[in-house]
A and B are shown apart, each in its own frame.
Chain A
């Protein structure tokens, strides 16, 4: 295979020029194939890259539609003249139409063809809700919805897609996007591919939500119910976006609900237990260490069950799921 050209195509140059004419910034950047599929790279790595999507170019997700299989802006009144047309070409040539639609479609097909037992386990533990993921209607609409979910950003109480910036791939070791009242930006020097941290996740959630494997540095719990010192404890699994703060506890009908506890952190392995103890310090009947370890145990066993359910299955999604479970088992052990 020949090396990708470091020089941008005419189509890319023209797209960037137009983007700049609308008020966007895209300096020293090119789209090409990298380790994670299509991504953004510096044209000259010795110089900084700068990307900015000002607020008037951010597209609210409820203002995006599928038109003849292409992504388009539904109502273009609030955008600069010509922007809607530019946006449609951007999506068709560099985003949705370039790779995203196909890769989402093949991931979703792989996911649905996993053994039934495996899908039931994923649902039970809270990783996947088939009715939400595949609502009644055309398959392409479901893929479109997944596309939006994997690209959107929360900004000032609403969700938006970020032109050009949405082409950047994810790395948990990089900074997140810069968010200000004026829009979204990234600036810096990059040796290789430009990467940003999309969001907090663990390896399994990242795979199921985004369709790729990543050794995220932390793990959250699965949904589970257990009895601790004679009382019912429900653990609501999934991501805690305020990961450094004590998690919330609710009491409903004598059931104690722990919301999204962090279980492990490879860079700070003592932190999760500390947060767990801190969160439960007012509940004298709870042995926080014991409960923390029991929740861990149940997470491990859940992952092993998932791995056993796909033990003799082949396919790329199956292999991705195996990797994610192994990553998750490994990261879960990063706690003292």
Chain B
């Protein structure tokens, strides 16, 4: 990270390429390096136009620097600016170091913890960070924490990817000709990266956040006479019924929402809606079964983590507790919505 003068000169270059970065500076905050308003009484305005977004398949490591592979189509000088941006403010500033520390500590978790996480579909060290090409693997992990879907491709958004996440913050504004964040901010400029739950946010990004929703972990279970596979994952639009279908004689439930702190009646309502018309399923009971299995798995993970001393173990304990809290936010159901669906 350079001086304030360097920062401002750097922003001037960004503006020359068509970007916007008004009233912001980078500094250390509660979540590590982040962006802050220079004058909190004035609005912050950040914009990365579509032509400055860099596809993740167009990024590579060259002599330790993160660079654009194919410079075609970018404004002149932009690839060099992007290299310096990564070296001074992103990958080189904290990104590589933090990613490496997190991956190494995850790998160092006791075997029983790793086995449990693998079984629940949360973490598989062999796939995620096998260590055969550590720098490449690190870059891929780094990119996964910074990229976003835009017009059917996954891209990196310079400047805006310096923002930290808060579950209660506004999401990125994707409505215009680029990706934007703007508004008045008392303290750090925060943005909501995506929909996720606490445990998956931690595993994917390396930090704890009290996300307001919980999706299921991966399980197989027996319900009445049916074998049921619960495909756990987060990241989908939460207020839609999950997909439930028979597949090869088994019932497959995809990413059921189990808890939602702002709308605690919705998880069961959506699940009941999703199960309407499926024979052999007692939807209320299946919902309880899935809830129970999730709780027991998280409690089990917490038990295995007892006495494990490391920064990641501590974050994982917090992640499990936050996930249990998110999972708990569920009671009742919306009869009006269920009747509407039945009528439809």
Contacts and interface: CB of A to CB of B under 8 A. Distances in A.
Contacts of A293: 330-332
A225 interface: no
B332 A294 contact: yes
A196 to B, nearest CB: 27
Contacts of B303: 323, 326
B227 interface: no
B193 to A, nearest CB: 24
Interface in B54-76: none
Nearest to B327: A300
A323 B321 CA distance: 14
Interface residues of B, number: 25
Given A289-B332, A319-B306, A304 B296 contact: no
Given A329-B299, A330-B296, A300 B314 contact: no
B41 to A, nearest CB: 35
Contacts of B296: 330, 333
B324 A336 contact: no
B285 A336 contact: yes
B230 to A, nearest CB: 15
A112 interface: no
A188 to B, nearest CB: 33
Nearest to B306: A322
Contact of A301 (B292, B299, B328, B332): B328
Interface in B303-339: 303, 306, 314, 317-318, 321, 324-325, 327-333
B295 A326 contact: no
B332 A290 contact: yes
A121 interface: no
Nearest to A270: B285
Classify the interface of chain A: helix, strand, loop or mixed: helix
A8 to B, nearest CB: 38
A297 B332 CA distance: 11
Contacts of B329: 297
A334 B332 contact: no
B329 to A, nearest CB: 6
B238 interface: no
A333 B302 contact: no
A154 interface: no
A287 B332 CA distance: 8
A294 B285 CA distance: 17
Contacts of A336: 285, 288
Contacts of B285: 336
B264 interface: yes
A131 interface: no
Nearest to B268: A293
Interface in B1-42: none
Contact of A330 (B264, B299, B306, B325): B299
A321 to B, nearest CB: 12
A335 interface: yes
Given A322-B306, A335-B288, A300 B328 contact: yes
A123 B299 CA distance: 24
Contacts of B264: 294, 297
Contacts of B288: 335-336
A307 interface: yes
A300 B325 contact: yes
Interface of B: 264-265, 285, 288, 291-292, 295-296, 299, 302-303, 306, 314, 317-318, 321, 324-325, 327-333
Pairs A-B, 4 closest by C-beta atoms: A290-B332, A293-B331, A300-B328, A294-B331
Given A296-B328, A297-B264, A333-B291, 5 more contacts: A296-B331, A300-B325, A300-B328, A301-B325, A322-B306
